[in-house]
Structure 1
Amino acid sequence: MNSTTSSSPTPSGGRDATGERRDWFRFDRADQWGLALLLALGVAVGVVAWLLAPIIGWAQGDPLAVPFFSEVEVPGLAAAGIGHSEADYSLLLSDPSTGQRMADLVPGVVYLLLVSAVAWLLLRVMLTIGRGEPFDPANVRRLRVLALVLMAGWTVAYFVEATCTFAILADVDLESAGVEGGPRAALTLPVVPFVTGLITAMVAEAFKAGTRLQDDVDGLV
């Protein structure tokens, strides 16, 4: 007597367990969890770098590193008749006051709030895309807020950081160290976040157009 055995087809060639062809560009639940974990990791790194590390250094009595910008003397270059530019370096304050420690923490708190806001807005946008609703009107608002955070928020954070740096150095006797003209800082505006914010604002307008088109299509059905 002949016997036959049947076996279920094994998914292959980019197909899932049901035999359907897998859409590699679909933002499914696994991708949502992966993005959420990645964004959470970014916020966690910010907490460690901007909050925990300074606080632990404060508790251990470590010197306070303050960015500084001034002229420096390099005897070897001077002896060879070679000039050089001013330099960016860190001053290490061995006995900073409580006020200086607190001022050092403020920029980190501001940057952490910005990173948390960016992570939250990105996650909310991607979750609606995962539900198949990329042109949800709420996404236009979220992208606009994201653009504002990147452009205005990072610029404000930069000036907060510069202000705190000058406040810390105001209590340092720089003249006794031969530094004239008071504290100075190199001007490095946050160009990358600003440009990224502009691109995000343009994407928001594209989503707005998509939302209007989606409304028109729904009205025809």
Structure 2
Amino acid sequence: MTSLQGRRGGRLLEAVLGVALALAGLFGVLLPLLGVTGPIDPVDTRDVRIDAVTRVPAAVTSGPVTLHGTHRAEVALTHPDVQQRILLALPDVFYGALLIVVLAFLLRMARTLREADVFVPENARRLQVIAAAIVAMGVLGPAVDAITTHLLISGTAVSPAVPFAYTVSAAPLFLGLLIAALAEVFRQGTRLREDTEGLV
């Protein structure tokens, strides 16, 4: 009975990951690429950080608390050409592709649950790939965003107001390290099981 429940749970997990994988491919990669090639309206804006403080429509005051503004702004391109469309879509495609990698390897790991045998060498390697992809989201993702933004505004009148901003997010780095540690646990578990089987 427990084995049957485990298989059902494994199939349900596979189905959820399969749906998530399809959605990531659709919204993270396919739609941005269709925006570049023309069948759908392209993305024509990019959120940026500026040097000057932006003004809010009206000052908001509540007793001793006052809302002033933020350093966030939006760059809008009226009629982006193909090169600009590529630069606008590239960060979304990059993140979408990495998310697809993560979900695809998680799906492969979920399939090992059918046999109730997750401690296999392949899963340790899959976790290492997942960890690398998540770290890349935190390190390379912001770099892609910063570089493409710089290329979009380079030579325009708004360029002096938008500094080159590259900020590494700590959360993906910590998550990637945790998953890398889990991959090592899987690797050690696999080795211990092989050693135990060798003694029998």
Q: Give the TM-score taking structure 2 as reference length.
A: 0.78
Alignment match, 2:186: 207
Q: Give the TM-score taking structure 1 as reference length.
A: 0.72
Distance (whole Å) between structure 1 residues aligned to residue 163 and residue 9 of structure 2: 46
Taking the TM superposition and a 5 Å limit, the aligned residue runs for 1:71-220 are: 71-74=53-56, 76-77=58-59, 84=68, 86-174=70-158, 181-184=160-163, 187-220=166-199
The yes-or-no answer on 1:65 pairing with 2:65 is: no
The structure richer in helix per residue is 2
Distance (whole Å) between structure 2 residues aligned to residue 201 and residue 208 of structure 1: 10
Q: Which contiguous aligned blocks of 4+ residues in structure 1 show a shift greater than 4 angstroms?
A: 56-63, 74-77, 185-188
**Relative contact order, higher structure (CA 8 A, sep 6+):** 2
Aligned residues: 191
Contact 1:88–1:186 under 8 Å retained in 2 = no
RMSD of aligned residue pairs (Cα, Å):
2.9
Map Cα deviations across residues 146-201 of structure 1 (whole Å, 9 max, x no partner).
Answer: 211211354212211221121112253217xxxxx342365543332222111111
Larger Rg belongs to: 1
Distance 1:121 1:53, change over 3 A: closer
The yes-or-no answer on 1:37 pairing with 2:37 is: no
Distance (whole Å) between structure 2 residues aligned to residue 91 and residue 184 of structure 1: 13
Map Cα deviations across residues 40-99 of structure 1 (whole Å, 9 max, x no partner).
Answer: 32233333333444434854556601112222235854xxxx784542132222122221
Q: % of aligned pairs identical?
A: 26
Secondary structure at the aligned position of 1:66 is classed as strand
Distance (whole Å) between structure 1 residues aligned to residue 191 and residue 149 of structure 2: 47
